[in-house]
Amino acid sequence: MSKHRQEIWENELAKCIKCGTCRSVCQVFQSVDDESYVARGKMRLVDAYLNNKINLTDGLAQRMSMCLMCKACTASCPSGVKTDRVFLEMRNYLAEEKGLSKVKRMAFTWLKYRNIFDFSLRFGAFFQGLVFKGLPDRNGRIPRFPIPVAGFNQRRIIPTLAKRPLRSMLPEVVKIDKPKMRVAFFTGCMMNYVYPESGLALVDVLRANDIEVVTPKKQQCCGTPIFTSGDFKTGRLLVKQNLTAFCDLDVDAIVAGCASGGVAWKHEFQTILEEDDEMLPVAKKLAEKSYDISEFLSKIELNNNFGRVEKTVTYHDPCHLNRGQGISKEPRDLIKAIPGIKFIEMSHADNCCGSGGSFNLSYYEVSRDINNKKVKSIGEVKPDIVLTGCSACRMHIEDGLFQSGLNIPVRHTIELLAESYRKQGVI
């Protein structure tokens, strides 16, 4: 085992005072009611492994994978234990020592080759009706038959793949006469292939603020699903491809519309390149000018020529935006700035929705149990729309609302801003 990894574990384990505060915030623990799934229990397992009391068993691997990586334990820990880092390192170690599942190996190889990934999703969009049937009143589909290998049962709703990916609809540069600023847009996979309307809205809102937008065609998946599964080697490859695609652009900022992509650009690229002398400085430099879109808009002199939108809305905090980047006020301020909007805070808005990357595919029933609480909070508010800043949360909440028979649309916050500008004829 590397000395670096051992030091991380030993330092963090030494800080844990075993107080159990993490039990009160861990959604997984609250669902399964088993100490070995909460941060304190997981830390004890890592400690037991380091002290040769247990081996790298399947049980240990399962405890590590059954985690939303929601950072709720990290944020609430009175001793400042970086639980997220401990678990990430253990996932990486498990992947190195025991290998990944066949499904993950195949999926990550596929993600690694941008052109093949792009082609297969376009192909999939064309033929998705053969495997998934459309629903009359929703933008979503349900599988015609169970697909356990992909984690799909016949009752879960998944969003329709877009006919055209976002990046194929956008020119590499959306030019503006006399631009005030120039930014690069990191689209993320979900906005590119599933919710391109969010990406188009983001570009429109930037245009409405006289900002030129560069969308590099060679950008890639941020690698989050890959490196959080423990495959740092493939993750590093994608991170480096992204850094290369963005490093020579003459831009004032890099803007992400995706919470996980944003936290990756700001922090996680550096974490997984920690021992890479060549690319780590590039990751650090670009992190300094990386922003989530709501954060970026809160820092500029925003065009406040908003049109009226008469809607009742509520907002769900994505873990990777709230705890990952410390952004919760900015999207709320933007929403409240729109005339006609009635904003109602849902209870426990910052609780994880249960998506957790591939967690909802591997542990659908637990993720449903967690999501039911989110749906209950939404149902109490009775909004016209649920807003959020993460496409993965959006997908999982859409499924939860469908399972509960609630027909409430979920949108990215930026879509509401674009709607308001459109009403005023600004864009």
The residue (of 108 and 363) whose beta carbon lies closer to ligand SF4 is: 363
The residue (of 184 and 352) whose beta carbon lies closer to ligand SF4 is: 352
Return the sign of the alpha-carbon dihedral for residues 313, 338, 350, 388. positive
Binding window for ligand SF4 (CB under 6 A); candidates: 63-71, 167-175, 196-204, 255-263: 63-71
The residue (of 93 and 421) whose beta carbon lies closer to ligand SF4 is: 93
- Between the CA of residue 393 and those of 290, 316, 397, 412, what are the distances in Å? 21, 8, 6, 10
Binding window for ligand SF4 (CB under 6 A); candidates: 33-41, 155-163, 297-305, 393-401: 33-41
Candidates 18, 144, 155, 299; binder of ligand SF4 (CB under 6 A) is 18
Cα angle 412, 415, 417; round to 5: 120
Instruction: Give the count of beta carbons closer than 10 Å to the beta carbon of residue 369.
Output: 16
60 binds ligand SF4 (CB under 6 A): no
- Cα separation, 92 vs 84, in Å, equals 12
The residue (of 143 and 357) whose beta carbon lies closer to ligand SF4 is: 357
39 binds ligand SF4 (CB under 6 A): yes
- Burial readout 227-265 (b: 16 or more C-beta within 10 A, e: otherwise): bbbbbbebbbbbbbbbbebbeeeebbbbbbbbbbbbbbb
- Cα separation, 342 vs 332, in Å, equals 11
Q: Which residue has the tokens 């690069």?
A: 184
Candidates 46, 60, 61, 70; binder of ligand SF4 (CB under 6 A) is 70
In this structure, what token pair is assigned to residue 229? 């599964």
**Closest by Cα among 287, 317, 290 to 390:** 317
Q: How far is the CB of 16 from ligand SF4 (least distance, A)?
A: 3
Chain positions 223 to 262 lying near ligand SF4, rule: CB under 6 A, are none
Candidates 68, 190, 208, 418; binder of ligand SF4 (CB under 6 A) is 68
Candidates 14, 17, 116, 135; binder of ligand SF4 (CB under 6 A) is 17
83 binds ligand SF4 (CB under 6 A): yes
Give the H/E segment covering residue 307: none
396 binds ligand SF4 (CB under 6 A): no
The residue (of 39 and 238) whose beta carbon lies closer to ligand SF4 is: 39
69 binds ligand SF4 (CB under 6 A): yes
Binding window for ligand SF4 (CB under 6 A); candidates: 65-73, 174-182, 197-205, 231-239: 65-73
252 SS3 class: coil
Binding window for ligand SF4 (CB under 6 A); candidates: 62-70, 136-144, 183-191, 339-347: 62-70
Tell me how many residues contact ligand SF4 (CB under 6 A).
27
Supply φ then ψ for residue 357, to 5 degrees: 65, -120
61 binds ligand SF4 (CB under 6 A): no
Instruction: Calculate the CA dihedral of residues 385, 391, 392, 396 and round it to 10 degrees.
Output: 20
25 binds ligand SF4 (CB under 6 A): yes
272 binds ligand SF4 (CB under 6 A): no
- Cα separation, 412 vs 180, in Å, equals 25
Candidates 22, 170, 321, 392; binder of ligand SF4 (CB under 6 A) is 22
Binding window for ligand SF4 (CB under 6 A); candidates: 26-34, 98-106, 118-126, 145-153: 26-34
Q: How far is the CB of 3 from ligand SF4 (least distance, A)?
A: 23
From the centroid of its chain, how far is CA 403? 22
- Cα separation, 117 vs 223, in Å, equals 13
The residue (of 41 and 409) whose beta carbon lies closer to ligand SF4 is: 41
Q: For residues 296 and 183, is the Cβ–Cβ distance under 8 A?
A: yes
Q: How far is the CB of 89 from ligand SF4 (least distance, A)?
A: 14
Q: How far is the CB of 350 from ligand SF4 (least distance, A)?
A: 12
Q: How far is the CB of 259 from ligand SF4 (least distance, A)?
A: 15
Q: Which residue has the tokens 């009143």?
A: 137
Q: How far is the CB of 72 from ligand SF4 (least distance, A)?
A: 4
- Between the CA of residue 391 and those of 90, 122, 272, 321, what are the distances in Å? 27, 19, 23, 12
In this structure, what token pair is assigned to residue 127? 């033929």
- Cα separation, 402 vs 412, in Å, equals 18
Candidates 8, 16, 251, 321; binder of ligand SF4 (CB under 6 A) is 16
40 binds ligand SF4 (CB under 6 A): yes
Which stretches of the chain bind ligand SF4, using CB under 6 A? Answer: 16-22, 25-29, 38-40, 43, 67-73, 77, 79, 81, 83
